[in-house]
Amino acid sequence: MADGPPRFFTKPEEYVGVNNHRRTLFLDMDETLVHCYFEKPTFFIDTNEDFFQFTLEDDPSVTYYAFRRPGLNEFLYQCAEHYDMRIFTAGEDLYARTLLRWLLPDNLIDESRWYTRDACVGDGYGRLIKNLSMLDGFQFEERTALILDDSAPDNVYPHQNALAIPRFAPQTGRTDEENYGRMQADRGLEMFGRMLCGEHFTRCDDVRDDRNFLDHLNHSAHQENDLAITGLIQAAVDRFDTYF
């Protein structure tokens, strides 16, 4: 993990809303940027900077054990060069803010741009939906807004503005050590950062066109190659670059 912002990094006050040409990138939190355990995994080491143990004032009997997704800081700094970034999570407000204050480096995304469970809307069937067009303090433009979420697009409205990233979470049936090795090797953010910061996304007229095309490539790669999930992302990104 990087110790601080890279040399080329532009401070937030200098990049926010430049000429209104920037796209907006929303980021989900749980299973997209981080995974939280409710029981301490055997590999959890308190001194590891990628781990965070915390409790909440409203229920101190519950302890959370957070595991930062590999490459997160690099991904955030990279995307900050091209996007106005916001957080949109279905997590409870106190839980989300406690976790995000540890998770996000250098106050990279101001707390006024964090949307938590209260900003979600119910679908009438007990499911929470992230409606990008109904957020306080944000003027939704369907051509320039995108959300990266492991549950997308089903939990997002409009669907066309949601891009799915593989879940960062342990697999059932595996030991803690097996899951740690697999999760530590995760390259999802690295590959999505490369894709999202390419000119085909940052300079396109409509982000939905690129998002739909990536869906097509993901589906095709899966049908043709039956790749493991990391390989699937890599194949899709490589083929995406070829077409643009």
Domain that holds residue 186: 12-243
Q: Report in angstroms the alpha-carbon separations of 231 from 99, 101, 152, 162.
A: 30, 32, 20, 21
In a domain, 26, yes or no: yes
Q: Which of 83, 90, 198 is nearest to 146 (CA)?
A: 83
Whether the pLDDT of residue 27 is over 50: the answer is: yes
In a domain, 190, yes or no: yes
In a domain, 4, yes or no: no
In a domain, 67, yes or no: yes
Q: Domain holding 42: CATH number?
A: 3.40.50.1000
pLDDT tens track for 77-127:
999 999 999 999 999 999 999 999 999 988 899 999 999 999 999 998 889
How many Cβ atoms are within 10 Å of 6's Cβ, its own excluded?
A: 11
In a domain, 194, yes or no: yes
The number of folded domains in the chain is 1
In a domain, 7, yes or no: no
Query: At 209, is the pLDDT very low, low, confident or very high (cuts 50, 70, 90)?
Result: confident
